[in-house]
Structure 1
Amino acid sequence: MSREEYADTQSTNPRTSGPGRLIIALYVVFVVGSLSRAGFQIATEWEQAPLAYSLSAFAGVVYVVAAVSLAIRGRRAWWVSLVAISTELVGVLAVGLWSVLDPAAFPDATVWSGFGRGYLYIPLVLPVAGLWWLWSTRPTATSRARRRGR
């Protein structure tokens, strides 16, 4: 590994500064909240609402991937973040709409039910903020060329 490559790996991650810290912190809170709730419900009440509990567990996994990939520096991590947060946005919109149009399908709420109504709509706002932050901190051709010494 050259000195430039080593220096590049030691420099700061632009996604973990400024608003990125708050976004990552919210993802961590949602990881703990959604996975602990889903784990408890799956272990004790699975028969009551297996779809809702499975979707909450899936949301928790998406939150884990988003939080970790946002905290990691590099283009690959940026792309993983983009996929995870886009999946989250599609999930909250799809499950939110489904739960409003067919409430009987969700005898118990998920993290994404009612567009995150039970969580102050943060599940709806968080992926929008996350995508905005990703776009603001996206890797550019200039930064890639600089890393290659051009």
Structure 2
Amino acid sequence: MNVFDFAENRYQVIETLSHGMRQKVFVIGALLSDPDIWVLDEPLTGLDPQAAFDLKQMMKEHAQKGKTVLFSTHVLEVAEQVCDRIAILKKGHLIYCGSVENLRKDHPDQSLESIYLSLAGRKEEVADASQGH
């Protein structure tokens, strides 16, 4: 219960908690049994900076033990900080799956955000749309 300094809130009714505190409850609940595979959907959403840092550290430590952490995020900087392999989806279709290292080699001197926009075709779509008006 010391995860996320949550001990003092452990007896509160969940409906009375803030969004961030509820997110902490969900993460604690998901990880309580220490599963080998963590599947987390936007786990950092709503967390305060300290809790987000702590969870990223926990994710890295879990992976270093040879276990799996699979999570979704729209914050590409988080993926860059935490992941050694990433999958990029566009409209439910896999457009990249591989190591961050190889992705960087294929797109030197670009941010992960720029790489994503290039792979997802967003820049071309915007350019095409502006030409039609």
- TM-score for the superposition, normalised by structure 2: 0.36
Kindly indicate which of the two structures has a greater share of residues assigned to helix: 1
Q: Could you say which structure has the greater relative contact order, defined with CA pairs below 8 angstroms and 6 or more residues apart? A: 1
- TM-score for the superposition, normalised by structure 1: 0.33
